[in-house]
Structure 1
């Protein structure tokens, strides 16, 4: 089992596209002897799709 805590900031443009930056920490919360944990920085861009 793993847990994630995150902070995300994003901006939505007038055309509904979105640009965001997220940083998060992933670990098993010391539920086992080995808990290396990791920090991840992610940049994302999303485009709305109409069906």
Structure 2
């Protein structure tokens, strides 16, 4: 049988990995949004020059 300390260790390690995974996904999504913003800005600048 597994003792309470081992279970707590697994819970804490799982929580840490979950937080890291979530932050990584947020970072990737922010980079994609920044790329889209840059493209939109380029299109707007080209339209103003016309």
TMscore range, shorter length: under 0.3
Higher helix share: 2
Q: Structure 2-normalised TM-score?
A: 0.18
Larger radius of gyration: 2
Choose between structure 1 and 2 for higher RCO, CA contacts under 8 A separated by at least 6 residues: 1
Higher strand share: 1
